[in-house]
């Protein structure tokens, strides 16, 4: 359902891989709401995914970019402004990757060169993206930059591995760079801490099915879906949230404020 919430707004969406990804669903919703955008992902991810299908559906162009490369990001930002016909109003950073998780390395036995790669892709790329946008003065006033995160940045989820550290770093960048972007350019920067979501990235985490079910039983409203996360992201791109900045916003059905729920308690009582 369109309300033209983003009519005339332009942006860049990072990380759409396939229909399960939050970035993919966000792109569809931005399009429904009248926004236009450029899609981008790493060349290797683009070979794995179906980003061209999404581009056709949403009248978007695709610019491959390695988000850890300043050269690629500069090219992406310049080309996006050319294609879209002006400065940008929104950017979604929806990127995360841990080589240690992929290779089955335990948190107590990390390969640090894997860690550095994951940190660069998952966290530092957010700073690199914002620094490029900032230096090129590529954002319109009252624009909005959003990155996706997870609550393992605050609490222990043993199998989330070094991605937890990456997300903590990402959230800190959001606050720190958000201050300068707000002060100097009137641009807001927020992170959305989403429920565990069965995306391609999410499913890479060990024990993920149990993880999802537990979170669902702990949350009074149940887990937030990728589709619902896209809706929430749209509100942050819109003019209705102009003064929301430097926030880590929990979009998790209430999980983040729960100690224990009746459903979880019942499960343990049943098992005794």
List, as residue ranges, the binding site for NAD(+): 15, 21-22, 95, 167
Catalytic residue among 150, 169, 179, 250: 150
Check if 150 is active-site: yes
Q: Going by C-beta distance under 8 Å and a sequence separation of 6 or more, which residues neighbour residue 150? A: 160, 163, 164, 167, 193, 194, 196
DSSP 179-221: HHHHHHH--EEEEEEEPP--STTGGGSTTHHHHHHHHHHHSTT
Known binding site: residues?
Answer: 15, 21-22, 95, 167
Which of 79, 170, 40 lies closest to 118, judged by CA? Answer: 170
Catalytic residue among 112, 134, 160, 232: 160
Torsion of CA 200, 201, 205, 210, to 10 degrees: -50
Q: Are 145 and 90 in contact (CB under 8 A)?
A: yes
Q: What phi, psi does 267 have (nearest 5°)?
A: -60, -45
Q: Are 159 and 153 in contact (CB under 8 A)?
A: no
Check if 250 is active-site: no
Q: Are 28 and 4 in contact (CB under 8 A)?
A: no
Q: Give CA angle at 71 (187, 230), nearest 5°.
A: 45
- Residues tagged active-site: 150, 160
């Amino acid at each position: 359902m369109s309300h033209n919430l983003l009519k005339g707004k332009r942006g860049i969406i990072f990380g759409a891989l396939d229909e399960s990804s939050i970035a993919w669903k966000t792109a569809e919703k931005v399009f429904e709401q009248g926004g236009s955008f450029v899609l981008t992902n790493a060349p290797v991810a683009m070979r794995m995914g179906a980003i061209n299908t999404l581009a056709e559906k949403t009248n978007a162009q695709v610019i491959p970019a390695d988000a850890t490369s300043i050269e690629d990001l500069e090219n992406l930002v310049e080309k996006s402004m050319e294609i879209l016909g002006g400065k940008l109003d929104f950017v979604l950073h929806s990127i995360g990757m841990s080589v240690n998780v992929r290779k089955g390395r335990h948190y107590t036995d990390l390969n640090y060169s894997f860690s550095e790669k994951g940190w660069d892709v998952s966290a530092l790329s957010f700073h690199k993206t914002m620094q490029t946008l900032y230096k090129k003065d590529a954002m319109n006033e009252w624009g909005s930059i959003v990155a996706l995160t997870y609550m393992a940045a605050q609490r222990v989820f043993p199998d989330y591995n070094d991605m937890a550290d990456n997300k903590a770093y990402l959230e800190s960048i959001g606050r720190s760079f958000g201050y300068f972007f707000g002060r100097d350019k009137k641009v807001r920067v927020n992170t959305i801490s989403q429920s565990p979501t069965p995306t391609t990235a999410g499913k890479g985490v060990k024990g993920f099915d149990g993880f999802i079910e537990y979170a669902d039983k702990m949350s009074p409203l149940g887990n937030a879906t990728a589709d619902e996360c896209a809706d929430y992201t749209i509100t942050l791109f819109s003019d209705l949230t102009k003064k929301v900045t430097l926030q880590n916003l929990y979009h998790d059905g209430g999980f983040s404020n729960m100690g224990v729920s009746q459903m979880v308690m019942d499960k343990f009582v049943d098992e005794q």
